[in-house]
């Protein structure tokens, strides 16, 4: 008689665990997800934060801002700003403090689907695209060409499928649309048709806002539905540093606020050119300008959702060129995150952009440096986190896809190390070394229950990053990262986007607007 092989009583449990690992994880069990809390990295001391705050208030009281539109002057003077004989608006400390107290402390940026809603508060971190690139990187020819509305739609379509890209702010300009009115609403159309995630966009002139709002009402199912869940926000460069309002952009902002659209108050000075060369001075100026923006917004509509976009950029002082991939840029954005937290308001800044012209090793170190540092600082919205090259002049679809992997690793850094009774693992060490009966354990942790349980919950695995041995790499025909990104791009774009409009809605939109994106 042949004895049947004995099976361990653990086998059934292990099979069940394998089945559980094969099933998709629920959002709360994924190792990384939107809104992880950072805040562990603080480049500014508490005394430094206080000093920057006092300096910003001094700038507002003594220097003020020029060139507000008449409507803005009327709004802010009524709230308590002082219009000087030199035409500059100055802001008493109490007025600024009242505006900060009145400002929204928690903002929900809605997606067209609730699955992609983002809560901005505290040190919750989200990564996404942004910018106004005028070129596309053609990775197969290593050339730059003008960006088009098709490129914008493709970027939105890719973002929909990339789990670690949490929102889409328009990353490029549709250079093939020369009419500014059509440019604005075609940008909205292409983005909304590509993704259900939250979208950020800009408007060229205030008179173009109503038509774009009309389109958004149609997409939402009516104005009431839009106002209940505005899934597009206005990225608004309301100032021209140093310390001047951008007149038409302010009028755009007023129209967007009246239309129920969240706004990003974007101050984008360049340290050494349009902002002080010192990192602290650049943060002071950006803070002062955005505090003036908070006064403006809350004088129009108290508590209106406004993101503080202190967005100072670095500069290579040898040449005058932007240095968005520098360590200084990462420090600027991380320091700005601390100021947002000091005021208790949601904020965003730049992180993840590269000065490199291609998705190469330079791009990798530059993008990871600022994505990790801004995430660790607890920046609510990390803009330009993937796909952006050439100091914001070029966008690359393949780099966007690679950035999804990179941001996954950055988010794991943000999540940090959990120290609990279970994670210190004394009992796991005991059973591995001594065994359950004290006569000796397996001497390794590969089969430990804890290891198998944590494989998916605690570890982030790259989609395209290669972790094989040199031997396996050679046996796999030496896969190339860029070529694999191209293949993934083609595969993702060959599938329909879940954001595609209902055919009847699409017909209605095309009848009402001159849509440039092909059917």
With tokens 């009309």, the residue in question is: 214
The CB density around residue 13, as the number of other CB atoms within 10 Å, is 12
- Of 352, 341, 417, 338, which Cα lies nearest the Cα of 384? 352
What is each CA distance from 450 to 33, 75, 428, in whole angstroms? 22, 60, 7
pLDDT digits (tens, 9 = 90+) for 292-348: 999 999 999 999 999 999 999 988 888 988 899 999 999 999 999 999 999 999 999
- Of 212, 191, 208, 263, which Cα lies nearest the Cα of 233? 263
Report the alpha-carbon distance of residue 312 to residue 347 in Å, rounded. Answer: 13
**Helix (H) or strand (E) run with residue 236 in it:** strand 232-236
- Of 39, 17, 84, 77, which Cα lies nearest the Cα of 415? 39
- Does some domain include residue 223? yes
Residue 123 belongs to domain with CATH number: 3.20.20.480
With tokens 């005021």, the residue in question is: 343
- Does some domain include residue 107? yes
SS (H, E, C) 439-508: CCCCCCCCCCHHHHHHHHHCCCCCCCCCCCCHHHHHHCCCCCHHHHHHHHHHHHHCCCCCCCCCHHHHHH
In the chain, which residues have pLDDT < 70? 1-24
Residue 366 near residue 323, CB atoms below 8 Å: no
- Does some domain include residue 276? yes
- Of 312, 346, 317, 358, which Cα lies nearest the Cα of 332? 312
Cα 138 to its chain centre, rounded Å, is 24
Overall number of domains in the chain? 1
Sheet architecture: strand order including 143-146: 143-146, 135-138, 394-395, 388-389
3 state DSSP class of 169: strand
Report the alpha-carbon distance of residue 175 to residue 346 in Å, rounded. Answer: 32
Residue 346 near residue 104, CB atoms below 8 Å: yes
Measured between alpha carbons, how far apart are the two ends of the chain, in Å? 72
Here the tokens at position 4 are: 């049947």
Report the alpha-carbon distance of residue 53 to residue 265 in Å, rounded. Answer: 18
Report the alpha-carbon distance of residue 283 to residue 271 in Å, rounded. Answer: 9
- Does some domain include residue 83? no
- Does some domain include residue 329? yes
Domain containing residue 302:
98-415
pLDDT digits (tens, 9 = 90+) for 382-415: 999 999 999 999 999 999 999 999 999 999 999 9
Report the alpha-carbon distance of residue 87 to residue 247 in Å, rounded. Answer: 13
What is the pTM (predicted TM-score) of this model? 0.94
Report the alpha-carbon distance of residue 450 to residue 462 in Å, rounded. Answer: 22
Report the alpha-carbon distance of residue 79 to residue 507 in Å, rounded. Answer: 45
3 state DSSP class of 214: helix
Report the alpha-carbon distance of residue 347 to residue 378 in Å, rounded. Answer: 10
- Does some domain include residue 136? yes
- Does some domain include residue 138? yes
With tokens 């003077």, the residue in question is: 77
Here the tokens at position 381 are: 């919205």
Report the alpha-carbon distance of residue 31 to residue 456 in Å, rounded. Answer: 7
- Does some domain include residue 224? yes
CB half-sphere exposure, 414, CA atoms < 13 A: 36
């Amino acid at each position: 008689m042949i004895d049947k092989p004995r099976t361990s009583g653990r086998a059934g449990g292990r099979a069940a665990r394998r089945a559980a690992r094969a099933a998709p994880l629920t959002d709360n069990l994924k190792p990384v997800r939107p809104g992880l809390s950072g805040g562990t990295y603080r480049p500014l001391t508490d005394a430094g934060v206080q000093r920057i705050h006092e300096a910003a208030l001094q700038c507002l009281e003594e220097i003020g801002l020029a060139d507000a539109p008449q409507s803005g002057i009327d709004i802010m003077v009524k709230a308590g700003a002082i219009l000087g004989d030199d035409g500059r608006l100055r802001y008493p400390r109490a007025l600024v403090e009242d505006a900060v107290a009145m400002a929204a402390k928690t903002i929900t940026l809605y997606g067209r689907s609730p699955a992609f809603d983002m809560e901005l508060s505290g040190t919750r971190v989200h990564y996404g695209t942004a910018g106004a690139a005028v070129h596309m990187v053609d990775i197969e020819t290593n050339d730059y060409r003008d960006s088009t509305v098709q490129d914008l739609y493709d970027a939105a379509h890719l973002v929909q499928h990339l789990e670690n890209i949490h929102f889409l702010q328009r990353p490029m300009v549709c250079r093939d649309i020369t009419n500014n009115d059509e440019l604005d609403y075609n940008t909205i159309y292409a983005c909304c048709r590509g993704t259900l995630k939250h979208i950020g966009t800009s408007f060229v002139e205030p008179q173009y806002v109503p038509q774009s709002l009309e389109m958004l009402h149609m997409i939402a199912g009516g104005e009431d539905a839009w106002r209940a869940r505005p899934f597009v926000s206005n990225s608004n460069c309301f100032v021209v540093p140093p310390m001047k309002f951008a007149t038409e952009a302010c009028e755009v902002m007023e129209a967007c606020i009246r239309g129920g659209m969240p706004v990003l108050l974007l101050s984008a000075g360049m340290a050494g050119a349009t902002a002080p060369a010192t990192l602290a001075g650049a943060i002071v100026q950006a803070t002062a300008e955005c505090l003036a923006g908070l006064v403006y917004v809350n004088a129009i509509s108290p508590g209106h959702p406004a993101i503080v976009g202190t967005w100072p950029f670095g500069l290579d002082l040898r040449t005058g060129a932007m240095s968005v991939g520098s360590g200084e840029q990462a420090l600027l954005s991380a320091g700005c995150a601390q100021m947002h937290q000091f005021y208790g308001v949601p904020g965003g800044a730049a992180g993840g952009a590269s000065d490199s012209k291609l998705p190469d090793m330079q791009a990798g170190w530059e993008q990871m440096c600022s994505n990790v540092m801004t995430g660790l600082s607890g920046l609510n919205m990390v803009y330009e986190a993937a796909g952006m090259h050439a100091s914001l002049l070029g966008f690359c679809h393949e780099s966007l896809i690679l950035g999804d992997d990179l941001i996954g690793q950055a988010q794991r850094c943000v999540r940090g190390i959990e120290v609990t009774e279970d994670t210190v693992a004394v009992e796991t060490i005991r059973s591995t070394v001594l065994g359950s009966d004290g006569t000796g354990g397996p001497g390794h942790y590969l089969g430990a229950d804890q290891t198998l349980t944590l494989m998916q919950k605690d570890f982030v695995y790259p989609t395209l990053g290669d972790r094989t041995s040199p031997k396996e790499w050679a046996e796999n025909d030496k896969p190339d990262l860029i070529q694999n990104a191209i293949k993934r791009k083609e595969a993702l774009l060959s599938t329909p986007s879940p954001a595609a409009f209902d055919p009847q809605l699409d017909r209605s939109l095309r009848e009402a607007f001159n849509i440039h994106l092909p059917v």
